[in-house]
Structure 1
Amino acid sequence: MRQVVVTDAELEGLKSDIEEKSVEIVEFVKLKEIDPVYFDKTYYLAADSNGSKAYALLREALAKSKKIGIAKITIRSKERLSAVRVLGRLLFSYIV
């Protein structure tokens, strides 16, 4: 058996190119197609200063289509599957 010592600096260099916080919509479905029993946590989604137009566009598209977005949500460098939904003028993410 071989052992390799890895320093903190080397681990820092291995950081993924995934951003600290991101949302990637992979599909649009009707809400009734997903059983809420699978939802683990709920988060409110907000746009940063550069994403306000994209946020508004996604919110309006989801509201008009009456669908939800199935998304890959990255929070603190951890990627999880999520359902993104409009409630009023806000977007919420239901982590699966």
Structure 2
Amino acid sequence: QERYVVDQCFEEKSNCYLIDASPLERRIGLTAIECLRFCSRVKGCLAASFASTLSICDIYNIRNGTGTANLVQLLGYIYYEPKVTDVEKCMS
């Protein structure tokens, strides 16, 4: 069920981290799905990054390719971008 929701609502890139971008907000101690739910509830969230080993969730109001922000390979990080405009509805 969770895998399906993630696949429907988000583009996922494993072992990738967004550089040259400051997070809009950070949460510690979340799971990946909780991180995506958090992003879906914050207006202006255009991307999320989850560090699986540290359980750190960063959400961004910019995405890969905006200005100098871009993805680099980094083990243990997962980068997400919403596939739909209304992510909260998609995840419900």
Q: Give me the TM-score of the superposition, normalised by structure 1.
A: 0.28
Larger Rg: 1
> Structure 2-normalised TM-score?
0.29
